[in-house]
Structure 1
Amino acid sequence: MLFKFSSLWLTATLCLATASDSVHSKAYRNPVLPGFHPDPSCTRVPEWDNTFFCATSSFNAVPGVPVFASKDLQNFRQIGNVITRESQLPGIANTNGSTSGIWAPSVRYHNGTFWVVTTLVYDHLPQNDPARWDNVIFKSTNPFDSSSWSDAVHFTFEGYDTSPFWDNDGKTYIVGSHAWQVRPMIQGFEIDADSAEIVGNIHDMWPGTGGIAPEAPHIFAKDNRYYLMIAEGGTGLNHMVTYARSQSMWGPYDPDPANPVLTNANTTQYFQTVGHADIFNDTAGNWWGVALSTRSGPEYIYYPMGRETVLTRAEWKEGQFPTFTPVRGQETGPLPAQNKQIGGTGNWAGQDDFLTFPPNSSLPIHFVHNRFPDPSAYTISPHGHLNTLRLSPSVLNLTSTDRRTAVTPQTFVGRRQEHVEFVFTVQLSFASQQDQAEAGVTVFLNQGQHFDLGVVTLTPQSAVQAGYIGKPANKSARYIRLRTITTNSTNQGASDPLSKPNTVLLEPGLHGSNSLQLQIEAVNRTTYAFRHETSRGWTTVGWGDSSQVSGGFVGTIIGLFATGNGANVSDPAYFSDFSYKGNHAVF
């Protein structure tokens, strides 16, 4: 089921908001952080004017660990990223597969310093290999300045989803999930706040209620008890949030009789896989929870944006376990007054883009690469090409080998898909005459799942190999090529009947010989259309089934690429007028 705003719904919502202001209840909609924003962690910081700060997982996306700020829990602005320098955590350059990388950051504030505790996971290594888990701490005194985040301080823990906690004794503690396929257990320990050395023993705390993968722990001290919040069931349709509490930090922990306290498992709801949550309060004493969720319905087939961040109301009465309102697309709650007084120039969550790449500008902070890029491959407004983004083609294309064995990075940059329906257009100028030189646009989930629409130069032989069914040119020529790389790909393309590759001889002479517009449209939640500009208007090259770019831990990136498809190409590609417009009436 898709949610669409109608005039009747808008009228009803406005009336509801107006009528309910007196009781401080307002309507809002999920997800509050749309697109690839899983494993959310949020905290309110009184010392920063009671601003809410949130961080989410980034896996292999760089810059990594996006940080958002909000004053009203309705408008979230990206204010920076934790990982912006390869020197902070060089290991991201050596991960293998899309499920590796940065898992589950926890953001907290203590004694004037922001902490982000997270795990760099090498998912290709066995669960019982200690080298699989690289747990790290980043610190900053100003999250609005991405350069202020420290290099990683490492600590040894055979697990993931680590989260910090400070007790009244002033000591620093960490809770985390032991590698569950080895032994499912939430564990905790004291660490030295400066060196991150573990102090004393690692303690078994709680194995959960019996669901697989007890993970995502956070610990809270309230009403003279310790409350342990975790996720169970795996990050799929059985995902859930459970609680236990104890009079001692190390247990024993007694589970909440009402577990699971938050889940959409075994329902027909559009929002599924709800879990991996955090809880915090506002200045009025109202409690709120954030969690990950997919807009997949129970069919769990079409969800290219992956796991997103949702907000739900909670109650935490004295001496009791907290309760949560089930996650829905449209919710109401006692939200703080609307306030967009958040510094910085980053995008608001869900904001459209129109970028002209003026001189002396930088790539927006919400733009990402697949692992650390080669900075020299990206130049804004180079001499003779003002208001363009110049991309130098990489030897590797978007499928390529994993970064662990790759010699050089891929040339690729883009933004998260945040809307079920959107239109993305960009102007491309690319003049290379070298065989297999290619530049274009992509819907990129990972190296094994992506749709690419590119301008490519092909010899007659290469054109036949690429699937061109017309009469090849008698010499090298420029083509429009749609490649549909999915887990179901064959030599003929994806196995589904929609996602077929296609190669079309490019019409000469449009905007000069080397320039044209490319377009990707998410027509609905199941279908992408790929188009290029001709003298007759837009021509559709082919289609993509969004199920073929759904699944795993990440979400789709809408972006730009340039490649030699295995060869060195010296001719750059120039992109301009980058436009992404979401349909905000459909969620």
Structure 2
Amino acid sequence: MKSFRNPIVPGFHPDPSCILVDGTYYLVTSSFLYTPGVPIYTSQDLIHWTQIGNVITRPSQLSLSKCTIRQGTKNCGGVWAPTIRYHKDVFYVVATCVFPDKEFADHSRWENHVWSTKDPHSRDAWSDGIRFDFPGYDTSLFWDENNDDRVYIQGALYWRVKEGIAQFEIDLETGASLSGEPKPIWSGTGRPIPEAPHMYRKDEWYYLLVAEGGTELDHCATIARSRSVWGPFEECPNNPIIHAASKDAYFQTIGHADIFQSPDGQWFAVALATRDGRINFPMGRETVLIPGQWEPGSWPVFNARVESVMKTSADSLRPVPSTNENILGNFSRTEVDVIWPHNLLRLRNPDEDAYQYVDGSLHLWPSAKGDTLDGRFGTPTFVARRQTAIECTTEIEIIPAKDPSVIAGLSVYLDFESHIDLVLTRSGTGPGFEAHIRQRTLGTGSSDTASVPVDSGALRAVAHEDRYEFFGWRDGAWVSIGTGLAKDVSGGFTGVLIGPYAEGPASGNDDHAKTTVKKWVYFEAA
């Protein structure tokens, strides 16, 4: 038996969908409020994953400008639950853009799109989206090869209005329905919030996999089957087929799964999970791999306990090395523009004029509209990578703006009301600098720290299981600036990002307002 380590795609990577095409696995996950959207990964062995790009890379494909987090909740809008599929030499991704401020029964709360490409490895390869009407979210694609290759959309009706999974036949060229209004096909097992449907055809049966229980501790995956794509569907007697082993297990909230088969016949599921999922889980919902069996004419079985280290009969599974990344070294240039690393994220539709990469350094200017990390909307000047290990370190070195009204630093960011910032300013009393912690969290007892004199713009954030430690540089050594709690940046739909930011009054892109990032490295404990 071979062993592998979960999560296979660590950090903020929820709602995974995976397919196998010509010996390569392709996996996508949700991206919510961030650009570029819908990261796409490939692997030859299901363990070593490489991000080859993102589906949504330009505003013409989708605008996130009106997406936010619903006031008073952690209900985050933006791009939810992509499904990736392949048919006749074309890759397709379908997903829902959610506007959570809109009323629950307002169909415009949900904006569903499908994008396509023949070469997902190519830069900016994915088409502009074809929009289609569906009164809900978590939409998926299924081609019925037994019925003239007709293609169907399955999706979740919003549970606050009407629970259940609905379906319609779609014209992928136009997005039009070929079967009228979406028809309810299964309401689940009686657990709350049936969602995340995927349809499969196997052994003359149509199998419908869904998530139930809500994306918290009761999350799970259930399955039903029918002889017709339209139902009626009979429930598996062994539901749920994917779930946390117990409330004490390391991985919790397991659900929102997709099922596929390896070339050697082994069945797998990918699913989202959180590590513990109660107090400290700043990386949010991550992607785990679960081996299973699916005998002919029977039901799939995935009841193995999901562990950090799991075993499978599949071949060629190897250990995954820890990450050590020089982020500024991952930028590249063509004759006409700069190519950003695939894994760097910015909020909504960023102002490209606020960023400039030149000769190994990244220059940042405050948002021309005065947007900050505290805003429910807008595009603050902030660029970051996902935290992908419990124990990790991020170091940057910046040259602060000459304008004293501009502040910059390093943010541990979950959302607009849950972030911890290491702030660097020019000293008001001399030629040096000062650093302090700015707490923007809902945690009790969290507060800003006093400013500490430092010698340079070198800043460090060190993540531990229950806290973050922040440091500045003075007298040839790192000095403590303060700490923040991991529980204060845990929860919701996303996960922590860590990276540099710049804020201040709208001032244009002049040198006085420019913050320069000279160094940016991320490394994980071995």
Q: Same fold (TM over 0.5)?
A: yes
| Aligned-residue offset at 1:229 | 0.3
Secondary structure, in 3 states, of the residue corresponding to 2:292? strand
Aligned residues of 1:165 and 1:173 also touching (Cα < 8 A): yes
Residue 72 of structure 2 is matched in structure 1 by none
Q: TM-score, normalised by structure 2?
A: 0.93
1:177 and 2:156 aligned: yes
Q: In structure 1, how many angstroms separate the alpha carbons of the residues matched to 2:324 and 2:345?
A: 16
| Aligned-residue offset at 1:363 | 2.3
Counterpart among 323, 331, 336 of residue 301 in structure 2:
323
| Aligned-residue offset at 1:338 | 5.1
Q: TM-score, normalised by structure 1?
A: 0.83
| Aligned-residue offset at 1:430 | 1.2
| Aligned-residue offset at 1:502 | 1.1
Q: In structure 2, how many angstroms separate the alpha carbons of the residues matched to 1:158 and 1:397?
A: 32
Give % identity.
Answer: 37
Secondary structure, in 3 states, of the residue corresponding to 2:243? coil
Q: In structure 1, how many angstroms separate the alpha carbons of the residues matched to 2:328 and 2:56?
A: 26
- Letter in structure 1 aligned against 2:122: D
1:206 and 2:179 aligned: no
1:557 and 2:497 aligned: yes
1:519 and 2:460 aligned: yes
Q: In structure 2, how many angstroms separate the alpha carbons of the residues matched to 1:194 and 1:57?
A: 24
Residue 72 of structure 1 is matched in structure 2 by 45
The answer to which of 575-584 and 282-291 deviates more is 575-584
Q: In structure 2, how many angstroms separate the alpha carbons of the residues matched to 1:350 and 1:123?
A: 37
Counterpart among 108, 111, 116 of residue 139 in structure 1:
116
Secondary structure, in 3 states, of the residue corresponding to 2:465? coil
1:424 and 2:404 aligned: no
Counterpart among 272, 291, 302 of residue 313 in structure 1:
291
Secondary structure, in 3 states, of the residue corresponding to 1:87? coil
Aligned residues of 1:237 and 1:265 also touching (Cα < 8 A): no
Q: In structure 2, how many angstroms separate the alpha carbons of the residues matched to 1:196 and 1:212?
A: 30
Q: In structure 2, how many angstroms separate the alpha carbons of the residues matched to 1:77 and 1:205?
A: 37
Residue 528 of structure 1 is matched in structure 2 by 468
Aligned residues of 1:69 and 1:77 also touching (Cα < 8 A): yes
Secondary structure, in 3 states, of the residue corresponding to 2:137? strand
Pairing of 1:277-316 with structure 2 (within 5 A):
277-296=257-276, 300-316=278-294
Q: CA RMSD in A?
A: 2.1
- Compared CA separation, residues 75 and 476, structure 1 to 2 (3 A): closer
- Compared CA separation, residues 356 and 323, structure 1 to 2 (3 A): same
- Letter in structure 2 aligned against 1:193: L
1:446 and 2:381 aligned: no
Secondary structure, in 3 states, of the residue corresponding to 1:221? strand
- Compared CA separation, residues 566 and 390, structure 1 to 2 (3 A): closer
Counterpart among 346, 353, 363 of residue 325 in structure 2:
353
Secondary structure, in 3 states, of the residue corresponding to 1:310? strand
Counterpart among 436, 447, 455 of residue 500 in structure 1:
447
Residue 106 of structure 1 is matched in structure 2 by 83
| Aligned-residue offset at 1:371 | 1.1
Pairing of 1:368-517 with structure 2 (within 5 A):
368-381=345-358, 386-394=359-367, 396=370, 398-403=372-377, 406=378, 409-435=379-405, 437-457=406-426, 473=429, 478-488=433-443, 495-496=444-445, 499-507=446-454, 510=455, 515-517=456-458
Pairing of 1:48-67 with structure 2 (within 5 A):
50-67=23-40
| Aligned-residue offset at 1:476 | 11
| Aligned-residue offset at 1:353 | 1.0
Aligned residues of 1:240 and 1:265 also touching (Cα < 8 A): no
| Aligned-residue offset at 1:351 | 3.0
1:547 and 2:463 aligned: no
1:255 and 2:235 aligned: yes
| Ranges in structure 1 where 5+ consecutive residues have no aligned partner | 1-24, 341-347, 460-472, 489-494
Q: In structure 2, how many angstroms separate the alpha carbons of the residues matched to 1:359 and 1:282?
A: 35
Q: How many residues align?
A: 509
Residue 478 of structure 2 is matched in structure 1 by 538
Secondary structure, in 3 states, of the residue corresponding to 1:268? coil
- Letter in structure 2 aligned against 1:352: N
Aligned residues of 2:245 and 2:305 also touching (Cα < 8 A): no
| Aligned-residue offset at 1:329 | 0.9
Deviations 1:93-138 (A, max 9, x none): 2212260000000000011110000000001112210010001000
Aligned residues of 2:332 and 2:340 also touching (Cα < 8 A): no
- Identify, as 1 or 2, the structure richer in helix: 1
Q: In structure 2, how many angstroms separate the alpha carbons of the residues matched to 1:26 and 1:266?
A: 25
Q: In structure 1, how many angstroms separate the alpha carbons of the residues matched to 2:507 and 2:433?
A: 17
| Aligned-residue offset at 1:150 | 0.5
| Aligned-residue offset at 1:431 | 3.8
- Letter in structure 2 aligned against 1:73: L
